[in-house]
């Protein structure tokens, strides 16, 4: 209410650890004050034990590596298909008009809804999971490529043309870099969809990986496995977000001054 | 694409015809896809279980309507979706405002929120199943979870960027805390809230289908999954088509008008268009 506290000292960052401590204390207290079957929420020690055990026998590392490998293979396939097709669509207004409704429809169902079909086509395992990720990434990136090319200002085309650039030069000097910005802006979102698609499809159609590990544990009521899986899934996403996407944004988008912040 | 766009007066005539040409080309694209699909069936030569034809899908659609299965499933899905969306958005706005108004609360909670945000809703479904069983509770919780975070973060951003000068003016005129919230902070947070809702709605739609595949006995996601389990692959494709059309309809009828009504009014359109 009074103007005195306009800019107080920034609250210390260690405050951020308090909620985690509170959760751990609550978790520790809960079985001591409430009665519930221990499979509902195993003690913290059980999760630490299981984490240690699965690190030592290599199964956690193996599942994590399997998930990440699928994610990046799916991502590479999706991008490799999306960018050329996106360029082709964007460079021709008629083709773009023709494909747009079909593509926005297919984008709306991209991802996890394909899993039942992919199980029929490829069986349980890598094929299904990679198809779903590639499919998710493909439609997100295709859309971004098309938008990216179409958002290049006409004056730039004219500038390149009037300097005698055409054909291949136009493509490499204007269209690709111009579309790249939108594509990179979209990477974070398409990976957010891709990551969910990965975990979800591993849960239904996987035979290894973090999603498979967490869902498989439901049958055996191994809540310790489920919680460890959740923590690892959260940590990996945080690391990817911090290292990959933020770095990409810094390197490219901010360099071109396109990130208003 | 947009039904109720207001055209600039001078450009009305050519724009309309260009738009109808686009619609025609779009329809041609859809038709081309359907024809290619139908023609490819004898070439592929697989059984309808592996590769059903459009005609199988149409027959299956009629069958699902006649038996009354599809309307019920559709209603179930939409009920879950909008209930989860509303609850998640409400929680996101409430927490976003509460956190945005107090820096100590913000600093305290933000690492936990970041961590929880990183554990995608998909990863929560197994433990929800252990805790609440297969059913409505698990599905609703997953939807609330996925909508909550984008709305929370965008509300937070909106509250933080509320013009301090307005807040000060209201206060000096003797406004109560509630009035400051109602007349200065919430209106300036509104575009953020809508952006968050739109992002959340997209993720929640896929989340719904996945949650229904895992934990439901009705709904579009269940239809998609059950179709292949019972060797009726055409039903799976009916489910996928209904899902896609439903999302396009939700986007066109609710999300875009909502975005137009709020974000464009504040002159942020260019930004919003580029982001979508």
Per-residue pLDDT of chain A (261 residues; tens, 9 = 90+): 444 445 556 788 888 899 999 999 999 998 888 888 888 899 899 999 999 999 999 999 999 999 999 999 999 999 999 988 888 888 888 888 888 888 889 988 988 999 999 999 999 989 999 999 999 999 988 888 888 888 888 888 788 878 877 777 788 878 888 888 778 877 888 888 899 999 999 999 989 999 999 999 998 889 999 999 999 999 999 999 888 877 777 776 666 655 443
Task: In whole angstroms, give the CA distance from residue B247 to residue B254.
Answer: 10
User: Which residues of chain A lie closer than 8 angstroms to B116, CB-CB?
Assistant: 234
Which string of DSSP letters, residue by residue, matches B194-242?
A: HHHHHHHHHHHHHHHHHHHHHH-SSSHHHHHHHHHHTT-HHHHHHHHHH
Q: Please tell me which residue, B107 or A166, carries the higher pLDDT value.
A: B107
CATH of the domain at B161: 1.10.3720.10
Q: Is pLDDT at B256 greater than 90 in this prediction?
A: no
Residue A260 within any structural domain of the chain: no
User: Is residue B101 scored above 50 in pLDDT?
Assistant: yes
Residue B134 and residue B213 in one domain:
yes
Inter-residue contact A137 to A187 (CB < 8 Å): no
Residues B87 and B203 reside in one and the same domain: yes
CB contact under 8 A, B108 and A39: no
Dihedral pair phi/psi, residue A80, rounded to 5°:
-60, -30
Q: What pLDDT was estimated at residue B80?
A: 96
Picking from A1, A109, A223, the nearest residue to B243 by CB comes out as A109
Quick one: pLDDT at residue A59? Answer: 92
Indicate if B102 and B235 belong to the same structural domain: yes
B97 or B1, which is more confident: B97
Phi, psi angles (nearest 5°) of residue A122: -115, -5
Place of tokens 């396109």: A258
Query: Residue A43 — φ and ψ, nearest 5°?
Result: -65, 155
Tell me whether residues A193 and B221 touch, CB distance under 8 A.
no
Mean pLDDT of B261-265: 67
**Per-residue confidence (pLDDT) for residue A225, from 0 to 100:** 94
Assess whether B41 and B171 both reside in one domain.
no
* Neighbouring residues of A191: CB distance < 8 A, sequence distance ≥ 6: A75, A137, A240, A245
- State the pLDDT at residue B116: 93
Q: Clarify whether residues B82 and B16 are in a common domain.
A: no
Residue numbers of the domain that contains A190 = 46-253
Per-residue confidence (pLDDT) for residue A261, from 0 to 100: 38
Q: Which of A15, A113, A238 sits opposite B118 (nearest CB)?
A: A238
| B175 near A CB under 8 A | no
pLDDT digits (tens, 9 = 90+) for B115-124: 999 999 999 9
Structure tokens at B91: 């929680």
Chain A neighbors of B108, CB-CB under 8 A: 11, 15-16, 18-19
Instruction: Give Cβ neighbours of residue B107 (< 8 Å, ≥ 6 apart).
Output: A10, A11, A12, A13, A15, A16
Q: H-helix or E-strand containing A141?
A: helix A126-150
Chain A residues touching residue B109 (CB < 8 angstroms): 16, 19
Of A99, A116, A214, the CB nearest to B123: A214
Q: CA dihedral defined by B198, B202, B204, B206, rounded to 10 degrees?
A: 180
Q: For residues B100 and B183, state if they share a domain.
A: yes
Helices (H), A34-58: 44-56
Gap between the Cα atoms of A237 and A193, Å rounded: 12
Question: Residue A166 belongs to a domain with what CATH number?
Answer: 1.10.3720.10
Q: Provide the shortest C-alpha distance from residue B137 to chain A (in Å).
A: 16
Closest CA to A106 of B172, B94, B95, B241: B241
**How many domains does chain A divide into?**
1
Q: d(Cα B115, Cα A81) in Å, to the nearest integer?
A: 33
Question: How far is residue A11's CA from residue B105's CA, in Å, rounded to a whole number?
Answer: 9
Computed over its alpha carbons, how large is the radius of gyration of chain B? 23
One domain, residues B92 and B37: no
Give which of B113, B81, B89, B80 is closest to B194, Cα–Cα.
B89
Structure tokens belonging to residue B3: 């039904």
In whole angstroms, how large is the CA radius of gyration of chain A? 24
Question: How many domains does chain B fold into?
Answer: 2
* Structure confidence by residue, pLDDT tens digits, B220-249: 999 999 998 888 999 999 999 999 999 999
The DSSP secondary-structure symbol of A136 reads H
Range of the domain at B262: 53-275
Q: Are residues B76 and B7 in the same domain?
A: no
B223 interface with A at CB cutoff 8 Å: no
* Three-class SS state of A227: helix
Give phi and psi for B135, each to the nearest 5.
Answer: 155, -165
Kindly tell me if the per-residue pLDDT of B57 is higher than 80: yes
Name every chain A residue with its beta carbon within 8 A of the beta carbon of B32.
98
Q: Give yes or no: residues B73 and B183 share one domain.
A: yes
Whose tokens are 């592996």? That residue is B50
Positive/negative CA dihedral, B19, B20, B22, B23: positive
Q: How far separated are the first and last CA of chain B, in Å rounded?
A: 14
pLDDT of residue A253: 61
Q: Cα separations (Å) of B264 from B159, B160, B254, B258?
A: 18, 20, 15, 10
Contact between A154 and A94 (Cβ < 8 Å): no
Q: Which residues of chain A have a CB within 8 Å of the CB of B110?
A: 16
CA of B32 vs chain A CAs: smallest distance (Å): 9
Of B29, B104, B245, the CB nearest to A99: B29
Share of chain B above pLDDT 70, in %: 89
Per the domain annotation, does A21 fall within a domain? no
Contact check, Cβ <8 Å, B240/A113: yes
Residues B96 and B149 in one domain: yes
Structure confidence at residue B128 as a pLDDT band (50, 70, 90): very high
Q: Are residues B144 and B8 part of one domain?
A: no
d(CA B151, CA A51): 33
DSSP string, chain B: --SSPPPPGGGHHHHHHHHHHHHHHHHHHHHHHHHHHHHHHHHH---TTTS--HHHHHHHHHHHHHTTHHHHHHHHHHHHHHHHHHHHHHHHHHHHHHHHT-HHHHHHHHHHHHHHHHS-HHHHHHHHHHHH-SSHHHHHHHHHHHHHHHHHHHHHHHHHTS-HHHHHHHHHTT--HHHHIIIIIHHHHHHHHHHHHHHHHHHHHHHHHHHHHHH-SSSHHHHHHHHHHTT-HHHHHHHHHHHHHHHHHHIIIIIHHHHHHHTGGGT-HHHHHHH-
pLDDT at B183: 87
pLDDT in tens, B134-189: 999 999 999 999 999 999 999 998 888 888 888 888 889 988 888 888 888 888 88
Q: Of A1-10, B20-29, B40-49, B225-234, give the lowest mean pLDDT range.
A: A1-10
Mean pLDDT of chain B: 86
pLDDT in the model for residue B271: 41
Q: Which residue of B has its CA nearest to A112?
A: B210
In a domain, A217, yes or no: yes
């Amino acid at each position: 209410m009074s103007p005195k506290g306009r800019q107080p000292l920034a609250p210390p960052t260690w405050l951020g650890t308090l909620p985690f401590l509170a959760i751990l204390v609550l978790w520790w207290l809960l079985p001591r004050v409430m009665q519930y079957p221990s499979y509902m929420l195993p003690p913290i020690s059980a999760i630490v034990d299981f984490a240690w055990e699965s690190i030592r026998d290599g199964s956690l590392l193996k599942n994590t590596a399997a998930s990440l490998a699928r994610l990046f293979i799916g991502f590479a396939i999706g991008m490799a298909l999306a960018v050329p097709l996106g360029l082709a669509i964007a460079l021709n207004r008629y083709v773009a008009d023709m494909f747009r409704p079909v593509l926005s429809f297919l984008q709306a169902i991209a991802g996890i809804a394909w899993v039942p079909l992919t199980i029929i086509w490829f069986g349980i395992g890598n094929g299904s999971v990679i198809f779903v990720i590639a499919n998710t990434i493909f439609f997100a990136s295709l859309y971004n490529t098309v938008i990216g090319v179409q958002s290049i200002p006409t004056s730039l085309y004219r500038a390149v043309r009037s300097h005698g650039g055409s054909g291949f030069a136009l493509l490499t000097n204007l269209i690709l870099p111009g579309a790249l910005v939108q594509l990179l802006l979209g990477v974070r979102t398409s990976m957010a969809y891709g990551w969910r698609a990965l975990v979800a499809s591993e849960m239904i159609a996987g035979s290894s990986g973090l999603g498979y590990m967490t869902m498989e544990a439901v049958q055996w009521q191994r809540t310790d496995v489920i919680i460890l899986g959740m923590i690892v899934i959260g940590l990996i996403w945080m690391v990817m977000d911090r290292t990959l996407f933020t770095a990409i944004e810094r390197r490219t988008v901010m360099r071109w001054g396109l990130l208003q912040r | 694409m947009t039904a109720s766009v207001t055209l600039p007066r001078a450009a009305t005539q050519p724009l309309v015809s260009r738009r109808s040409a686009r619609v025609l080309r779009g329809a041609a694209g859809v038709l081309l896809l359907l024809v290619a699909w139908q023609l490819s069936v004898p070439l592929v030569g697989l059984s309808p279980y592996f590769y059903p034809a459009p005609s199988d899908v149409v027959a299956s659609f009629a069958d699902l309507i006649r038996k009354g299965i599809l309307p019920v499933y559709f209603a179930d899905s939409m009920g879950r979706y909008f209930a989860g969306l509303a609850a998640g958005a409400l929680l996101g706005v409430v927490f976003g405002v509460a956190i945005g108004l107090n820096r100590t609360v913000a600093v305290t909670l933000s690492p936990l929120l970041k961590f929880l945000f990183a554990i995608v809703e998909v990863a929560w479904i197994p433990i929800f199943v252990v805790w609440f069983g297969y059913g409505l509770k698990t599905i609703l919780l997953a939807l609330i979870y996925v909508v909550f975070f984008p709305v929370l973060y965008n509300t937070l951003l909106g509250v933080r960027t509320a013009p301090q000068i307005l807040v000060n003016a209201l206060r000096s005129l003797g406004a109560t805390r509630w009035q400051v919230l109602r007349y200065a902070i919430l209106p300036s947070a509104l575009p953020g809230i809508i952006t968050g809702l739109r992002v959340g709605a997209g993720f929640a739609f896929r989340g719904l289908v996945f949650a229904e595949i895992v934990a439901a006995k009705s709904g579009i996601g269940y239809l998609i999954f059950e179709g292949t389990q019972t060797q009726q692959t055409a039903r799976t494709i009916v489910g996928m088509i209904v899902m896609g059309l439903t999302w396009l309809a939700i986007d066109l009828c609710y999300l875009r008008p909502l975005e137009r009504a709020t974000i464009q009014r504040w002159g942020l359109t260019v930004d919003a268009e580029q982001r979508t």
